[in-house]
Structure 1
């Protein structure tokens, strides 16, 4: 054994100061003191701070040097000759119950990219998740995890975890002053280890925070982040082409919205959730069998409170562990790819909760949110609003959007509560908000953030779809950024949803007084690229289930709902239905229990299921119903003003503009025999869908009247058209008539 003298007595006051800072978790620059340093021309010094160690030795290929403990503290050091400075070494640490040998944490140089950090501080870093967070790396031939976190106003930051007994003094991090990012590489650390960041503020407060960019987090009530290798989607060229095809503006898009925790559960196993893998094997085939083209997941970023349904996330880069791990979610995504089913995820960049391990006052200051509550606090949801004016927050949100699309290969994002981001006075009274620099109510920072997200995401893959849930008349939501729009691909048509549901809730005898509520949407139908949503928001918080909104007796309620779905699928705009719409439950959605699958044993409920399946199949195979959703050439009223009879009739056209599809919707219980309806072309029309079909638990009156459901037009003028047909219009029903032979328009 070789020994070396300890440091000179002159260094002792310096050691006292450093040990005090280290022991208090307030060491701001650990790399300036710990590790290997040149002491003078002839000597080097090795210092390490290891709480709980009894002895420490430095090991080289040929030697073993003991380090001297400083005054019964956790600091061990030794002076070595200068030749040692060029040697790779390890530390042998003797604890009371074990001896551990490994590389010195403070012997590794920084691996962070200055350019990447510059872009992060500039607000243009679209892949911050490659640089911040916990990353499995090999440095100097040693595998481990590099931890990095943005906390510019912290006095010191340490990595704590189950690998260091959650001791905030063992792994203090290196500060990059120019960027405010702290970094530390911990060698020989594997996946599935829990960790957090222990932050000491300049006020002396010690707080523990989860990693904002962690790829994996504990399930509540746990709050730790978990080391995890970065997910990598394998998306082949054919899959990219298929993705671009199914998301086009002239493609059939029918979306099934799902809350993974309550679609189906294992009731006989303690009512447990299905895993991502079970959902991949069960949910995806089910959605495909119903004929939907896309699946939309309510937020799956890790969230602490089940009752938020995911809309108050803490781990924006982490698929919730409620349903399994990162690899399990990747399997689920791959199942969607293989089934050629589009996958959208709800994204929540509008606010975040106040959980102490989350983003709020992350480094002791209002880092991610505005300090002024008039800008930084959501009164409706008791949450905090991102400070979109801060460049690093823009990089954070931009990177998060890019992460899901690029690393998991999903089709796109549905952005939640966009209106709350756009308006500074959203849900606020006079005096409770601060105008922008021009005195207006527009949140300029949020606008630029959304534009940047859409530009970058579409720039990375123009085959995706970015969807805005925007409930106001903000202009240009789906207009390109180059033309002063927000750059979304689609927008939810909340006006259509509110108007039509209000109409459908009326007793048929009163509907004639609300006729315009079903036609008004056509006034603005081409102002945006719309999706018609009947989402989870319409069946919670006392609003009642869709079936319960329908008036009349039992048969009429089901008939109303079928007719409404038929009208929806014929109206310009893509479609979205919340899970369970196909079951027609009478109760509101409950996130704590699975859907009532027993309803399918009822002929009436099974009729709704079959109706939606038929609507989807008809929709996908009928170009007139989707190709011209955003063009005025794709729609003409036959009669949009028949309020007295509450009958709506119109024509849909495809790209060729020649072959018409005639749609008739009757929203009263009266059957109309020998109804003369003008049609745009002569020939034979076939009924390709009738929501009153007996297969759907309808009356079948129209089918009997139409025999083979083939109706030939006559040269009899009606509704301003030279040709017309004589049809039976069933009660509370929507029918589609396809021209199958004869002339064209």
Structure 2
């Protein structure tokens, strides 16, 4: 509790102005106060004990004497029991407590402090109504630990939802973690508990002591809407003020809708902030990343950085995908305002920031959401619906309105409070299907007897509708691994309402193809062409994510067959194929320079690899691919439209060659992409071109600057009036071995 500046006071001895003598407290009331199990603490504590105005009761376990001070006049309180004091004061008076302990002989101490139980409620009636209805779009404005000024006094308002609790108390380093000192006030029928504690400020650690419906004391719980946390392995929440940041990104936000439109280029650099780069044994801070990571991503030509989950999580080995503090940026890299520094710095350089968001499940750690108020509050009670067998985690109860409100509000929180540009929703498939990773008998059908999780579908539709409506220019991205229809179709058209979907099928098929030795690839040609059959059914992102370089899958370079030269040539050809293929791009950190080993979240990337020419060549290729992709509308403007693609030769199965054209809008020069996936150079290979004239060779993955053999077409080709594959003109070109080449139309000769 707060300790105020000490001031001298006069004791009220005037019998004409002294309040009525203090009535004795009942034995049951004393017991309830001393144990701290108060279901309604404001009925017992504060200046209206049992509704009697002016009957002041305070509970200060360490105190030996207490006086209420009002306008310089002291009203001594009488000890009723150890730590419990009572007395009469003028009704409606704003008082300060003067507290003392010890004696002159053993070092007496005296101080002054506010009494939390003299303050009125903070939550308004409208807030209570919306919380109860499950429609409060911005829960963080009313729940959590908010640093505020209330009734003229600075402090922190603590509020949480625990409808089945018999009693709730705030414990922290400001009250010796003693639940008797700060029991909370219940707010009507909402299930919300609230307490304003004067003097508690930024940096205070706290948890909640909850008495469950059976009278059992639960493990201390962290705040579900806490804005900060202690450093793991410590698990307390930390009071953080998240107001007052001086954003400087107005220009970025104004143009964001255009920058994130589906016709804009999007090349995403996926990053695990804890292992991208380190300072000795520690990861970069948010402030350090605001310079180093942002500079690197800009230099590499990416349009976005996607951060793996930064919501607070107790176990580093979960990479953030088992969050406990869904509203707290992890303190591993710094406090919330420093995370804002990273976002602000990215926006100043024209980079968007995407966060991985995990609304599908949460860990069962004792201090977290599991059995939060002694009941299955956030999760399903039935393990067939509430427990995830793959990850040993709890599944949110998507059918409970307050839980849905908690999740949708959290999505809006990141977009509004931290100016995040988009959320990539993790494990959407596990949310959509009730039988996901479950055997027969281990799941519960929906009301129609089907396997679709109707409640989860409604949640996703609601969160997408809310975020797109409330935050102009933001985007929602689904990591969805099935063929569920309409993932990126608008909700009013029957879809889930996402802006984009990861193309997991494309990723799996093409990597399977590349892992085959070139001599066998002709038998698997369809793996590279099948993706076009559905490429425009959704707004797709082509993802080479962290999941492809862990758990024994090998690094990207290790997936490639052949000797050392062939491995690098294969990877260069694959990246050229990927950047030429319809769909936005995503590449996990380290893949851009062909790190040799799998990603290890405990160690930084192998930056020393860039001293080798072949690795530096891959990095330069990715930089040039990004530059070409961003500057060439034909390669991005119709990523999601069938009109932007045409096969020129998708059937060269025997020689494993693929050729296609990409088109932008009216007036945009088309591009021809040709990939040769064998180690055989093919001079004089005839390819159809969609227009007659001169075509510049704008990219060749076999260029010497990338580590190749510098074979190609001397900067370009000119078509001949030789019909080929349905086109009136064609050209003979040189296809270097294991390479992708791109030609951009210059104009008629």
Asked if Structure 1 and Structure 2 have the same fold, meaning a TM-score greater than 0.5 normalized by the shorter chain, the answer is yes
Q: 1:182 aligns with which of 177, 182, 193?
A: 193
Q: Give the CA deviation at 1:442.
A: 1.2
Question: How far has the Cα of 1:94 moved from its partner?
Answer: 1.3
Consecutive unaligned residues in structure 1, runs of 5 or more: none
Deviation at 1:232, TM superposition (A): 5.5
- Find the partner of 2:153 among 125, 129, 142: 142
Q: Distance in 2 between matches of 1:189 and 1:221?
A: 24
- Rounded to whole Å, the distance in 2 between the matches of 1:225 and 1:352 is 17
Q: 2:29 aligns with which of 18, 38, 45?
A: 18
Change (3 A) 1:235 1:417: farther
**Cα distance, 1:189 vs. partner?**
1.5
Look up the match of 1:214.
226
Q: In structure 1, how many angstroms separate the alpha carbons of the residues matched to 2:145 and 2:528?
A: 52
Contact 2:358 2:425 (8 Å CA) reproduced: yes
Q: Tell me, yes or no, if the aligned pair for 1:634 and 1:657 is still in contact at 8 Å.
A: no
How many pairs does the alignment contain?
Answer: 728
Q: State the 1:116 CA deviation.
A: 1.9
Instruction: Assess if the C-alpha contact under 8 Å between 1:634 and 1:653 holds in 2.
Output: yes
CA distance in 2: counterparts of 1:170 and 1:594, whole angstroms: 45
Distance 1:329 1:566, change over 3 A: same
1:245 has 2:245 as partner: no
| CA shift for structure 1 position 238 | 2.1
Relative to 1, partners in 2 of residues 1:648 and 1:159: Cα closer, same or farther, differing over 3 Å? same
Conserved in 1, the CA contact under 8 Å of 2:22 and 2:55?
Answer: no
Deviation at 1:21, TM superposition (A): 1.5
1:167 counterpart = 2:167: no
Deviation at 1:219, TM superposition (A): 1.4
- Within 2, Cα distance between the matches of 1:479 and 1:162? 49
In the alignment, structure 1 residue 419 sits paired with structure 2 residue 429 = yes
Match of 1:290 in 2: 300
Contact 1:231–1:330 (CA under 8 A) maintained in structure 2: no
Is the partner of 1:242 in helix, strand or coil? helix
Please state whether the residue corresponding to 1:263 is helix, strand or coil: coil
Moved more, 496-505 or 720-729: 720-729
Is 1:275 paired with 2:278? Answer: no
Cα drift, residue 101 of structure 1: 1.1
Q: CA deviation at 1:710?
A: 2.3
Matched, 1:128 2:128: no
Match of 1:715 among 717, 721, 724: 721
Distance 2:282 2:250 in 1: 37
Deviation of 1:8 after TM superposition, in Å, equals: 6.4
Task: Answer yes or no: is 1:79 the counterpart of 2:88.
Answer: yes
Match of 2:328 among 294, 312, 318: 318
Matches within 5 A, 1:568-647: 568-647=578-657
User: Does the alignment pair 1:255 with 2:268?
Assistant: yes
CA distance in 2: counterparts of 1:698 and 1:232, whole angstroms: 53
Displacement of 1:235: 5.9
> What corresponds to 2:740 in structure 1?
734
Aligned residues of 2:171 and 2:209 also touching (Cα < 8 A): yes
Q: Which moved more, 1:143-152 or 1:114-123?
A: 114-123
Q: Tell me what 1:266 maps to.
A: 279
Question: How much does 1:568 deviate?
Answer: 0.4
Q: Distance in 2 between matches of 1:380 and 1:52?
A: 49
Residues 476-511 of structure 1, C-alpha deviations (whole Å, 9 max, x = no match): 100111111111000000000000000000000100
Residues 683-736 of structure 1: CA deviation (Å, up to 9, x unaligned): 00110000010000001111xxx22x1211110112221101111000000010
For the residue of structure 2 that corresponds to 1:230, the secondary structure is: coil
Shift of 1:93: 1.4
Q: CA deviation at 1:328?
A: 1.1
Query: Could you state the TM-score of these two structures normalised by the residue count of structure 2?
Result: 0.95
Once the two structures are TM-superposed, the CA of residue 100 in structure 1 deviates from its matched residue by: 2.6
How far apart in 1 are the matches of 2:544 and 2:677? 19
Match of 2:708 in 1: 698
Q: Distance in 2 between matches of 1:638 and 1:495?
A: 23
Instruction: Classify the secondary structure of the residue corresponding to 2:655.
Output: coil
Work out which of the residue numbers 344, 349, 370 in structure 1 matches 2:359: 349
Q: What SS is found at the alignment partner of 1:577?
A: strand
Q: What pairs with 1:108-119 in structure 2 (closer than 5 Å)?
A: 108-119=119-130
The answer to whether the Cα contact below 8 Å between 1:376 and 1:387 also exists between their aligned partners in 2 is yes
The answer on whether the counterparts of 1:35 and 1:106 sit within 8 Å (CA) in structure 2 is yes
Equivalence for 1:66: 76
> Residue in 1 aligned with 2:236?
224
Q: Distance in 2 between matches of 1:142 and 1:287?
A: 45
For each residue in 1:212-249, what CA deviation from the matched residue of structure 2 results, as whole angstroms up to 9, or x when unmatched? 10111111111111111124663654222222121110
SS at match of 1:261: coil
1:128-158 Cα deviation digits (max 9, x unpaired): 0100001111111101000001001001000
**8 A Cα contact 1:6 1:77, kept in partner:** no
SS of residue matched to 2:275 = helix
The CA RMSD over aligned residues, in Å, is 1.5
2:54 match: secondary structure = strand
1:107 equivalent in alignment to 2:97? no
Provide TM-score, normalisation by structure 1.
Answer: 0.96
- 1:23 Cα offset (Å): 2.3
Map 1:418-437 to 2 at 5 A.
418-437=428-447
Aligned partner of 1:380 in structure 2 is: 390
Q: 1:377 to 1:619 in 2, by over 3 A?
A: same
The residue aligned with 1:457 is 467
For the residue of structure 2 that corresponds to 1:86, the secondary structure is coil
Cα-to-partner distance string for 1:589-645 (whole Å, 9 max, x where unaligned): 000000000100001111101110110001011100000111111000001111101
Aligned to 2:3: none
Return the match for 1:98 from 85, 109, 121.
109
Partner of 1:675 in structure 2?
685
Structure 1 counterpart of 2:731: 725
Contact 2:22 2:86 in 1 (8 A): no
- Alignment CA distance shift 1:385-1:244 (3 Å): same
* Residue aligned with 1:192, SS: coil
